[in-house]
Amino acid sequence: MTTEVLFKFAKKNINLSPEAYYLINNLDDPLDFSSSLIVKLKSQEFSKEDLVSLKADIVEDFIKTLGLPIPNQNKDSNNPIPNSQKTLNNNENSKSNTNKLNTKLNTNKSNVNNLNTNKFNTKKFKTDKPDSKNFNLKSRSISPESQVQDFKADFDQIGSVEANSNNLKANSNDVNFNPKDNVEKNRFSPSECKRNLNPCNIDYNYKVIQDTSKKSYTSGEIGNLITYFKNRYSKLSKILSKRPELKAYQKISDLEEKATDLSLIVMVKEIRSTKNGHKIIVFDDDTGEISVLFHKDNHELFRESEKLVKDEVVGILAEKKGDLAIANKIIQPGVPRIAKKSMNFSAVFTSDIHIGSLTFLEDAFIRFTKWLNGDYGTEEQKSIGEDVKYLIVGGDIVDGIGVYPNQDKELSIKDISEQYEEAARLLGDIRSDIKIIISPGNHDASRVAEPQPAIPEKYAKSLYDLNNVEFVSNPAIVSLDGWNTLIYHGRGFDDIAITVKGFSHERNDLIMEELLNKRHLAPIYGERTPLASELEDHLVIDNVPDIFHTGHVHINTYKNYKGVHMINSGTFQTQTEFQKVHNILPTCAEVPILHRGVYKKLNFI
């Protein structure tokens, strides 16, 4: 037991004094007590970057608070960290006492708030954080009878972004939750009475419009790949042919030798630059191919041509001079303006939670779930939380196993099923009248190639046991009371950020806008984003959604583009080693919400 207790505290940056260790190690169930104490310390007073020295008096106070007997301290005081081994019988007895300890924890929950944390010595470490315009909330004490903490804001009202605005990012609508709240962590068991194991009588107008989970038809042969690209071309040419300039478009093989004005719907095959700085792009359709020159002196058109990527489908207006075709205009499938809708409910969006990672912000996530339950925040903020009807998780709910080399060194839970079980424990505390919709990401237990089917039940049985959880594919389209919502994890962002000049993960709102105009979520085949050569290209955006929700890049953004709410929901994971190398600063625990059509962002750190 010696190393287990010490290691448990060390993982959370807590250094045990010898006297504190002696008290803990001589309890009936030291491991369960340690878990409860760690949760108390980290959720109430300290962040995961703080180094805490834990002394005996604070341990003794916590033991008294729980009503447990204090171990006899008259034993060998010169050797407070004993090297003795407990017998098998003692270990068995400790297991039987686990329920007793948990019962005392729950019974004395209100008393835990009286724990005096001033007896700690702490050393703060500075961490780099992105600039924030968030407002801080200060905590105030309340009577223990209520068992719910309320918080007073330092501002008069929460700002908002109207549904028809075109702000690139939210400004005054950010809310920062940062009180010293008590959070208890209980072990999940399907037999326990969790909030959303109970049936709910709410009438949801929820429909799945597109889910590819059971529509995967491919053998991986070359014939499938040809069919895949033909289907992409067919879908996008139907959209483009509705544009006035392309209603009478020509097939490449039908071009007459003397033709001068060209109107084409084509796929990008090859892009190259000339020695004079011009650009030559080879296009093809299902009948042939043609090379088109983009002249560098046509500055606006040349800038537009730099956004073209291989395998996307566009319209081209060109002028033919001899054997050379010179481009005059690029026509993307584009986005028509969406009519403004009324919304009489609220929807919350999150992704990239990464449960099972050592860098998962569990304390912040628990504050988030408490807010959803109406147990956290000011009265105004609680009223927003109580209005939430849908929670959409856009992938990477867990950190996964073997996603990248040496990942196991960064995991707190090294079994994929146990990661999903922990996810069920956390989501299981959310009130049952919130419908939770979960789509997979590249860290989840789904196939890597997109489109990804829903997370299989065999890995996430505990989540499937929750009555209010729905599983969909990546991508997927669902209707939330008439609001069509496109859920896409966002791995296709990587290809655009690397390939196209002027795009970056930090401004993923611009990438989302570009993908909407291309009407494809991952147009480049054969780059970083693995795409399955299905008989149908399910990543084509056939119909423009009301909400476009993404994740993957761990950076929260929002933009209303032609009536479409484009939301990237950030992350509940601190900066990873990969992000440090590439100088990417994640926006941690910033949760977007559409509150009756108005965008807001809540910060739980």
pLDDT in tens, 202-248: 778 999 999 999 887 777 788 899 999 999 999 999 999 999 999 99
Phi and psi torsions of 520, nearest 5°: -155, 135
Share of the chain above pLDDT 90, in %: 60
* Residue with the two structure tokens 């209603």: 247
Q: Report how far residue 67's alpha carbon sits from residue 103's, in angstroms, rounded to the nearest whole number.
A: 11
| H helix runs in 108-259, sequence order | 109-112, 222-240
| H helix runs in 2-55, sequence order | 2-10, 18-25, 30-44
Mean pLDDT of the chain: 81
Q: How far is CA 58 from CA 3, 112, 406, 442, in A?
A: 21, 12, 37, 43
Stated pTM of the model: 0.71
Q: Which residue has the higher pLDDT, 377 or 317?
A: 317
Label residue 155 by pLDDT band (50, 70, 90): very low
Q: Report how far residue 435's alpha carbon sits from residue 481's, in angstroms, rounded to the nearest whole number.
A: 12
pLDDT of residue 151: 32
Structure tokens at 333: 């499938």
Q: Which of 562, 513, 557, 518 is nearest to 537 (CA)?
A: 518
Label residue 349 by pLDDT band (50, 70, 90): very high
pLDDT of residue 53: 75
Mean pLDDT of 263-269: 98
Least confident of 144-148, 326-330, 497-501: 144-148
pLDDT tens column, 397-435: 999 999 988 899 999 999 999 999 999 999 999 999 999
pLDDT tens column, 490-517: 999 999 999 999 999 999 999 999 999 9
Q: Report how far residue 549's alpha carbon sits from residue 567's, in angstroms, rounded to the nearest whole number.
A: 5
pLDDT of residue 320: 92
Q: Which residue has the higher pLDDT, 553 or 196?
A: 553
The 10 Å Cβ neighbour count of residue 25 is 23
Burial class (CB within 10 angstroms; exposed 0-12, middle 13-18, buried 19+) of 490? buried
All residues at 6 or more sequence positions from 178 whose CB lies less than 8 Å from its CB, including other chains: 136, 137, 603, 605
pLDDT of residue 188: 45
* Domains of the chain, CATH where assigned: 2-123 (no CATH), 208-214+337-603 (3.60.21.50), 241-331 (2.40.50.1010)
pLDDT of residue 34: 82
Mean pLDDT of 300-324: 95
Q: Is the pLDDT of residue 279 over 80?
A: yes
Q: Is the pLDDT of residue 84 over 50?
A: no
